[in-house]
Amino acid sequence: MRICIFFRTFALEMENIIILAIESSCDDTSAAVIRDGVLLSNVTASQSVHEEFGGVVPELASRAHQLNIVPVVDAALKRAGIQAKELSAIAFTRGPGLLGSLLVGTSFAKGLALANNIPLVEVNHLQAHILAHFITPAQSPDSPIASSPSTPSFPFLCLLVSGGNSQIVLVKSYRDMEIIGQTIDDAAGEAFDKCAKIMGLPYPGGPWIDRLAKEGNAEAFQFAKPNIPGYNYSFSGLKTSFLYFLRDNLKDNRNFIEENKADLCASLQKTIIDILINKLKKAAKDLKVTEIAVAGGVSANSGLREALLDLGRRHRWMVHIPPFSYTTDNAAMVCQAGYFKYLDGEFCPMDATPYAKTKI
């Protein structure tokens, strides 16, 4: 039996649903295609233009999105073997993120939806990161698409850690998510990136610290940990204490950073992970939640992944860690979130504007 939902002028069939998603919230231009909940393609163009500035330059990011969006969308459709006229809807990241970057993706999504007379589905970037855990890739031996090792059951706690966010989210369903703790200042990714910059490492510094930490002694140096009540985080004090620690040691030894880089990275990384894990553990115990997931760019960190698995082993909690390709910004997660919204018949008007800040 075919089920149809009528929305405005669209008659929506609930099978052979093909959605193209566009992600452009920061410095990755990404497009993906999903059919009936199965991911067919996921193409991302990262922007190297920011490296020399030690951080994302919003205006340059918008321009790079403009250059990348047509070839990226084209490649996603081709890899999926889908033509634009077959699409059921266009999903796009509406926010939060950089306004100029979001404008490029939003405008492109609107144009494509209008041209094909199909609905638009807006997606919250933070929800999409969490829903990346539900991505089901097409099974093919030569598929370049990563598959999720496990799918969480509701309710679960998700540690959402990226360059702009550090949150503990209680996920009650695909649509019902509650932030129970979040950073009151910098995000964990910012702490990685800013401390890396202080050590003269390239941007983004998180992956560099991760790599160097593997060679270092995590007990070599101690850095201040914040004392914040509840489940909230704070990382700005750590950054300052790291800066002062280096400044003091450089007075006695101008090669201090070079001679201790691996130990500094390992100690800093351990401190950030301890801060993240302690609050997460407290939240899981208090709320009696036994499934834990991690999402966002910082979830690529090998030390954090290991610490989460260890936490799961100790407490017999189920831990869900996404494949690397779904940790940083990608359109596959936007596709997945858009697909759930499509099934609920939730669409957005053509005059929707992006938003820089929003809650989950």
- Residue from the set 26, 39, 157, 158 that interacts with ligand KG4 by CB under 6 A: 26
- Does residue 163 touch ligand KG4 according to CB under 6 A? yes
Report the nearest approach of ligand KG4 to the CB of residue 264 (Å).
15
CB of 302 to ligand KG4, least distance (A): 7
User: Binding to ligand KG4 by residue 193, rule CB under 6 A?
Assistant: yes
Please report how close the Cβ of residue 280 comes to ligand KG4 at its closest, in angstroms: 16
* The one segment of 85-93, 140-148, 200-208, 341-349 that binds ligand KG4 by CB under 6 A: 200-208
Report, in Å, the least distance between residue 300 CB and ligand KG4. 4
Q: Indicate whether 322 belongs to the interface with ligand KG4 (CB under 6 A).
A: no
Residues 89, 118: Cα–Cα separation, whole Å: 5
CA distance 324 to 330: 11
Q: Which residues of 106-133 are buried (b: 16+ CB within 10 A; e: fewer)?
A: bbbbbebbeebebbbbbbbbbbbbbbbb
Contact between 323 and ligand KG4 per CB under 6 A: no
Q: Considering only residues 321, 329, 335, 338, which one is a binding residue for ligand KG4 as defined by CB under 6 A?
A: 329
Residue 23 as a binder of ligand KG4 (CB under 6 A): the answer is no
Report the residue number, 51 or 344, with the smaller CB distance to ligand KG4: 51
Give yes or no for residue 338 binding ligand KG4 (CB under 6 A).
no
- In the complex with ligand KG4, which residue's Cβ is closer, 113 or 333? 333
Q: How many residues bind ligand KG4 (CB under 6 A)?
A: 19
- Candidate ranges 169-177, 248-256, 296-304, 306-314; the one touching ligand KG4 (CB under 6 A): 296-304
Closer by beta carbon to ligand KG4, 46 or else 116: 46
Confirm or reject binding of residue 354 to ligand KG4 (CB under 6 A): no
Do residues 278 and 111 touch, judged by C-beta distance below 8 A?
A: no
Q: 164 or 181, CB closer to ligand KG4?
A: 164
Given the rule CB under 6 A, which of 37-45, 143-151, 189-197, 260-268 is the region that contacts ligand KG4?
Answer: 189-197
164 binds ligand KG4 (CB under 6 A): yes
Minimum distance between the CB of residue 184 and ligand KG4, rounded to whole angstroms? Answer: 17
- Please report how close the Cβ of residue 37 comes to ligand KG4 at its closest, in angstroms: 23
Select from 47-55, 161-169, 250-258, 276-284 the region that touches ligand KG4 (CB under 6 A): 161-169
Full 3-state SS string of the chain:
CCCEEEECCEEEECCCCEEEEEECCCCEEEEEEEECCEEEEEEEEECHHHHHHCCCCHHHHHHHHHHHHHHHHHHHHHHHCCCHHHCCEEEEEEECCCHHHHHHHHHHHHHHHHHHCCCEEEEEHHHHHHHHHHCEECCCCCCCCCCCCCCCCCCEEEEEECCCCEEEEEECCCCCEEEEEEECCCCHHHHHHHHHHHCCCCCCHHHHHHHHHCCCCCCCCCCCCCCCCCCCECCHHHHHHHHHHHHHHHHHCCCHHHHHHHHHHHHHHHHHHHHHHHHHHHHHHHHCCCEEEEECHHHHCHHHHHHHHHHHHHHCCEEECCCHHHCCCCHHHHHHHHHHHHHCCCCECCCCCCCCCCCC
The C-alpha atoms of residue 329 and residue 347 are separated, in whole angstroms, by 22
39 binds ligand KG4 (CB under 6 A): no
d(C-alpha 350, C-alpha 123), whole Å: 14
Of the two residues 155 and 323, which places its CB atom closer to ligand KG4 in the complex?
Answer: 323
- Residue 36: CB minimum distance to ligand KG4, A: 27
Interface contacts to ligand KG4, rule CB under 6 A: 26, 162-164, 189, 192-193, 204-207, 210, 296-298, 300-301, 328-329
